A and B are shown apart, each in its own frame.
Chain A
Amino acid sequence: MKNRQPAYRAEHPSAFPPQDKGRSAQPADFKKRLPLALATVAALLALTACGGAVHADSAAGSSGEPISGGTLVYATGDTEPSCLDPIVGGGVPQALVATQYLEPLFFQDEDGEIAPWLAKSWKWSKDRLALDITVRQDVHFTDGQQLNAETIVKNVAYIKDPQTLSSTGILAVEKVASVEKISEFTARLHLSEPDNALLEHFAQVWVPIQSQKALARGAEANCLSPVGTGPFKVESWSKQQEVVLTRNEDYHTPAPTAGHTGPAYLEKIIWRFLPDHAARFAALQSDEVDVIDVLQPQNAVAAKADPALDTLIGSRPGHVVNLTLNTTEGAFTDVRVREAFVRSVDVDAALKSIFMSTVPRSNSVLSSITKFNRQNPEAYSTDVDKANRLLDEAGWTLRDAEGYRTKDGQRLSTSVIQNDSILIPVSVLEQFQHSAKAVGFELVISQEEPASFNAKRYAWDYGISPLYYTKNSPSVLNIVYDSAHIPSVIEGGYHANNNGLAGPAADAIDVALHKAAITGNETERGRLYAKAQKLIDAQYLSLPIFDQQTRLGFRSDVEGVKLLSPLGMPTFYDTWLDRS
């Protein structure tokens, strides 16, 4: 029961939320945070911890039959979405909550196999330029609307409408040129070119199927109360506080892996926003909340020692949590300098110390649960001698008074932007800064609020940016490495490719990725994605660090907490409270 791992090993995705609202600074918070008060609290807590830190590791167990009813309080550490409809923008915070009330056409299991969900069946044309999707005839949205072919037409049009400001969804349906209704319950998607990841795209919560009547209200209204077919529905949203979800009493479309049928057990879910890691974990410990996410490694260690708490940690698919190097200017225009940086830092030491060995290292740009991922420890291992040699070769041979390398009077320096929502804490960057300095490379850390982090990223105003992109397909590489995605796709400047590589090397990567995306042969697809990864690794466009993870901590009397394939988002359909 303790530290349950998800059964599946398939995939999970997530894009950094380009539209997400930053944490706002509230005067009341500052007073609470005064160091004096904290020091006192720290001292008190320390004393308490000394007295009773050791607990027996007894597992919590279910007392039997699921009990219907009750309210679950979920506290998320991710940023509060600015819109509850994951089509708009398209980030992990939206996917986390929307998984409870929106559902897609297809389901993708842990082995990557596609199964129907809201769809009943699908059929490709011979040239793979048309896909017929037939939907179930017994599905109604929570506003009473029936699901039909017209719903698909309206949903795709909504995603593609520039006014909607979709960034994740719009890239997922990039190849869909048009959609036509060919019968009451069958729609035909016409593609501009074959896309072997299309069904995977339609299996993610960023491309959900929503009530056409609800969509017709416009993005503003739909953001406040999206209407889907999920086990819960949006009751209310008090901004900067919580979203209240209530049970969908008519629910009858559970995912193939669900543990029961009919409505959910829980009557209500209160979805709170508690971005402060320490406060969130303290709320869980004190039973103020039932489930928290973004469980910090040190808190996972503490939770494992506490019989009242359980953890559920699972990898998400897609582009791993990484440091992406901006190749458009400065020293990183030179691949030798990029490799030197990667070789100079010690990722393993950081994971061992700061993450307390609780998070495994990734040596691949693709998550370990994403199909065709190619681990390449050779390319990403620490090698200080090689780093020094490469920098010498690149002409950074002189040193200034502080010991940093120089060339033509310029110091070898780059900036890294940081925000906790990207899961790389500043202490990891401090270690990298320290090891980079040893080879004469200056790394300036710039801590940003979510809004300024995004602004700098959109404006290419960084040397290095921590990033990840959740997606249940190796085609995530087409999103984040194809040079076609260097320009912004939506208003505001969001661009999916953040390395900015141009020239022959970028062309070679583009060609490999393109071939991999259009082939109809799965073996060939695997071979081509392996080739593309080899080319990407050789260019040192990013430093993979670890798989993205969904990290839940919860009270032991909360039963049936699960992560839903393929994105690894938590689902509370089977969840019940053992509090009889």
Chain B
Amino acid sequence: MSTDTNLSKTITDPEEAMTHSIQTTVLEGPAALEATRASKAAAHPSFTSGAWSTVSTLGPGIITPLVLLLGLIAAAVIPSVLAPSGPLEMNPAEAFTAPGTAHWFGTDESGRDVFSRVIHGARSSLLIGILATVIGLGLALVLGAVAGLGTRAVDFSVSRFLEVLFAFPGLLLALLVITILGPGVVTTTIAVGLSAAPGYARMIRSQVLSIRGSGYVEASIVQGKSRAFIIRHHILPNVAAPLFVLATLGVGQAIVWASSLSFLGLGATPPDPEWGSMLSLGRLYIGNAWWLTVFPGLFIVLSAATTTLLGHGIQRNLKDK
């Protein structure tokens, strides 16, 4: 199955959907960026009105998830300020206390404050999400660029290799990596990153290919510009914007995957607060203490939704312009 036929058929795979929509964006990319720069330059009479103008330009589709994301980042950076107690502080006598004023999200089977654990859990979830995405995108950038800029034979080899990796569902590939490397937070991060890489790489390859065939690249070639110049001035800047969108979308997915692995007992080790493992333990008490699953679950949804919405918001924003 070739990449090209994939793009032309009905899109059902979300990753393909992203490729498709990003493809459209990118074709218009340079012009759109120019337009943004121009509009920003024109609307800069003062700082406050400028900021407001930026906010209104971005719209609620970006602002809302951005605010939520900032909240999560705050939880990740300064959990001790936001959480009323330490994530590991136990008080078995207060086990299974329902949510209330003393414990906003209730307590777990060892009397630990669920709110504090959820807040402290933000750090590992966000960190895994971001680092895994960086690993995935970094690897994908290399593979995608090599395929997109290389000779036909190189492109063929890399593309077939990516398709083989694609044969594995992402999470299964991550499990395979963990089986080899052993469970733990670091391996989970690497596993999630590696599993996400093939998807990104295929998108980047098609990006690079489309930019390589564009008129302004041809013009540069005619002008006698070097290969390095073209990569630096045309290819990279035009891949960067959609890459940023991909990264934002990817963080959400990486958080869900990392939580899934922790849920299976392959990620964070006890007693570290991690949303996936909290969900897994809480699930046993689902009929007795609903708060043990609802709150960690809600935060997984929230963080994944936030980053995904932000990614889509940015993507739409670029497209609109």
Contacts and interface: CB of A to CB of B under 8 A. Distances in A.
A281 B283 CA distance: 12
Interface in B141-199: 169, 171-172, 175
Given A30-B171, A42-B283, A49-B290, A426 B260 contact: no
A430 B265 contact: no
Contacts of A354: 92, 95, 109-110
Contacts of B275: 35
A27 B172 CA distance: 7
Given A427-B110, A447-B265, A42 B294 contact: yes
B96 interface: yes
A35 B293 CA distance: 10
Interface string A204-241: 00000000000000000000000000000000000000
Interface stretch (B20-28, B46-54, B234-242, B296-304): B296-304
A298 B284 contact: yes
A445 B268 CA distance: 11
Interface string A261-282: 0000000000000000110010
A445 B269 contact: yes
Given A35-B260, A38-B283, A302-B287, A426 B270 contact: yes
Interface in B85-111: 88, 90, 92-93, 95-96, 108-111
B301 A39 contact: yes
B271 A433 contact: yes
Nearest to A27: B172
B7 interface: no
Contacts of A34: 256, 260
The winner among B287, B291, B297 for most chain A CB atoms within 10 A is B287
Interface string B265-282: 100011100011001011
A42 B293 contact: yes
A411 interface: no
A445 to B, nearest CB: 5
Contact of B264 (A33, A278, A301): A33
B308 to A, nearest CB: 11
A46 interface: yes
A35 B172 contact: no
A518 interface: no
A269 B13 CA distance: 43
- In the complex, which of the residues A35, A40, A353 has the most CB atoms of chain B within 10 Å of its own CB atom? A35
Given A43-B297, A353-B93, A354-B95, A427 B172 contact: no
Given A426-B270, A447-B265, A350 B92 contact: yes
B260 A434 contact: no
**Range of interface residues on A (Cβ < 8 Å):** 35 or more
B284 A296 contact: yes
B200 interface: no
Interface in A328-367: 346, 349-350, 352-354, 356
Given A35-B259, A35-B300, A353 B169 contact: no
Contacts of B175: 25, 30
Contacts of B11: none
Contacts of A349: 92-93
Contacts of A50: 290
Contacts of B221: none
B158 to A, nearest CB: 26
Contacts of B171: 30-31
B284 A36 contact: no
A39 B297 contact: yes
Contact of B279 (A35, A429, A430): A35
26 contacts: A30-B175, A30-B260, A35-B275, A35-B276, A35-B297, A38-B283, A38-B293, A39-B296, A39-B298, A40-B297, A42-B286, A302-B288, A352-B93, A352-B95, A353-B95, A354-B95, A354-B109, A426-B270, A426-B281, A427-B108, A430-B271, A431-B90, A434-B271, A445-B269, A445-B271, A447-B265
Given A38-B293, A445-B270, 16 more contacts: A27-B169, A34-B260, A39-B297, A42-B286, A43-B294, A46-B294, A278-B283, A298-B285, A299-B287, A346-B92, A353-B96, A354-B109, A427-B109, A430-B271, A431-B110, A433-B271
